[in-house]
Amino acid sequence: MADAAVDGTRRVLVAADKFKGSLTAVEVAERVTAGLRRVVPDVRVEALPVADGGDGTVAAAVAAGFERREVRVAGPLGDEVTAAYALREGTAVVEMAEASGLHRLPGGVLAPLTASTRGSGELLRAALDAGARTIVFGVGGSATTDGGAGMLAALGARFLDADGRPVAPGGGGLARLASADLSGLDPRLADVELVLASDVDNPLTGPKGAPAVYGPQKGASPDDVTALDAALGHFAKVLEGTEGVGARAAGYAASPGAGAAGGIGFGAMLLGARFRPGIEVMLDVLGFAPALERADLVITGEGSLDEQTLHGKAPAGVAAAARAAGKEVVAVCGRLALPAAALGRAGIRRAYPLTDVEPDVAKCIADAGPILERVAEAVARDFVA
């Protein structure tokens, strides 16, 4: 157990991600706090909901004190949607899933060949209009595999077919691309620090590229994957023949993170974005370091603690930072699929899954809030009381 505060009162930092499909990161923090206080009423709890750049990133920023801004933009299939970004003191947090995420598809019908990132570009433009000097661009949960072409078009790029007409939206349309012109990109981008925040490091194409690895999640058949991979490769090749940043397209396409969110990482790199692991970026933006300094114990977590957690997900990032600061870390989760040794190597002393309280997974999902409070009571008894 970590040392208590000078007055004997324990200080706990709750820095957990969402339980996908059950609880937002804010709700996780609220439920954990309630459970802790049921056992130790005077415990000092600081809540700092976190995200790794994927869906929930804007909500985490707003919870940390950013202003929520809403704007009407194009959804993945062109229908208008209301999307949000977050702004504070010249720093904007833009989440591409707000505009181009799977949940934005009308009726939930997947559209792997035609879904576009245009709305994500419109969100970036809104952040520029608001005066942002730094933009954290969180990518993940996308419905798209267009290499960021729609986003670039919304910001002033032109992509034309052999007849001089704009190519059709989506990755499928890029197969007909004959010429590209990036000279019309919004000039304000040159004066903005753009950070690509992602938890994946895939290249644009190939066996580990965006279509092959993530296309099936977006409804792509094996034939669609082949077509999308060829179209994105063609996209990069055409860009290589353009002046300016496009001439570096081949290098960007092979770079870690280019394949993030259906290749929007590649498009962001063409805009001058610097790739960083999403959770590292978000911890900086959210003010994690000073909150960590105030804590005796850190509680992190997400819906499923598994192998993916260890590769750039929020709990691993939180645990690594806390361990470096000499702080004790425990985790809460819906499901635990990691052995104690793996947790220990990640810097997590112990994990508390909801299934320890309720073995029925369906009930855990349906009643996640109350069950999480009971889990937090166990944490309080073991590490706080």
pLDDT in tens, 205-234: 999 999 999 999 999 999 999 999 999 999
Q: What is the pLDDT of residue 246?
A: 82
| Position 61 in a domain | yes
CATH of the domain at 351: 3.40.50.10350
Q: What is the pLDDT of residue 3?
A: 47
Confidence of residue 7 (pLDDT cuts 50, 70, 90): low
| Position 4 in a domain | no
Q: What is the mean pLDDT of the segment spanning 10-21? A: 95
Q: And the tokens for 310?
A: 């260890």
| Position 326 in a domain | yes
CATH of the domain at 117: 3.90.1510.10
In this structure, are 72 and 33 located in the same domain? Answer: no
In this structure, are 129 and 82 located in the same domain? Answer: yes
In this structure, are 273 and 330 located in the same domain? Answer: no
pTM above threshold 0.75:
yes
Looking at the 3D structure of the chain, how many domains does it have? 2
Position with higher pLDDT, 222 vs 20: 222
The domain of 199 spans 57-279
Q: And the tokens for 301?
A: 């977590």
| Position 36 in a domain | yes
Q: Which residue, 252, 279, 306, sits at the end of a domain?
A: 279
In this structure, are 100 and 232 located in the same domain? Answer: yes
Answer whether residue 165 shows pLDDT above 90: yes
| Position 3 in a domain | no
Q: What is the mean pLDDT of the segment spanning 247-272? A: 96
| Position 5 in a domain | no
Tens digits of per-residue pLDDT, 97-152? 999 999 999 998 999 999 999 999 999 999 999 999 999 999 999 999 999 999 99
For residues 267 and 147, the answer to whether their CB atoms sit within 8 Å is yes
Q: Which residue, 239, 254, 279, sits at the end of a domain?
A: 279
Percentage of the chain surpassing pLDDT 70?
A: 98
In this structure, are 263 and 332 located in the same domain? Answer: no
Tens digits of per-residue pLDDT, 30-83? 999 999 999 999 999 999 999 998 889 999 999 999 999 999 999 999 999 999
| Position 69 in a domain | yes
In this structure, are 352 and 239 located in the same domain? Answer: no
In this structure, are 214 and 263 located in the same domain? Answer: yes
| Position 154 in a domain | yes
Answer whether residue 267 shows pLDDT above 50: yes
Q: What is the pLDDT of residue 8?
A: 63
Q: 3-state DSSP call for residue 295? A: coil
Q: Cα separation of 316 and 145, whole Å?
A: 27
In this structure, are 240 and 158 located in the same domain? Answer: yes
In this structure, are 170 and 303 located in the same domain? Answer: no
Question: Judging by beta carbons within 10 Å of its beta carbon (0-12, 13-18, 19+), is residue 240 exposed, middle or buried?
Answer: middle
In this structure, are 247 and 139 located in the same domain? Answer: yes
Q: Which residue, 279, 297, 315, sits at the end of a domain?
A: 279
In this structure, are 89 and 158 located in the same domain? Answer: yes
For residues 107 and 97, the answer to whether their CB atoms sit within 8 Å is no
In this structure, are 219 and 309 located in the same domain? Answer: no
Buried b (16+ CB within 10 A) or exposed e, 318-357: bbbbbbeeebbbbbbbbbbebeeebbeebbbbebbbbbeb
Q: How far is CA 206 from the centre of its chain?
A: 23
For residues 213 and 259, the answer to whether their CB atoms sit within 8 Å is yes
Q: Cα separation of 217 and 160, whole Å?
A: 29
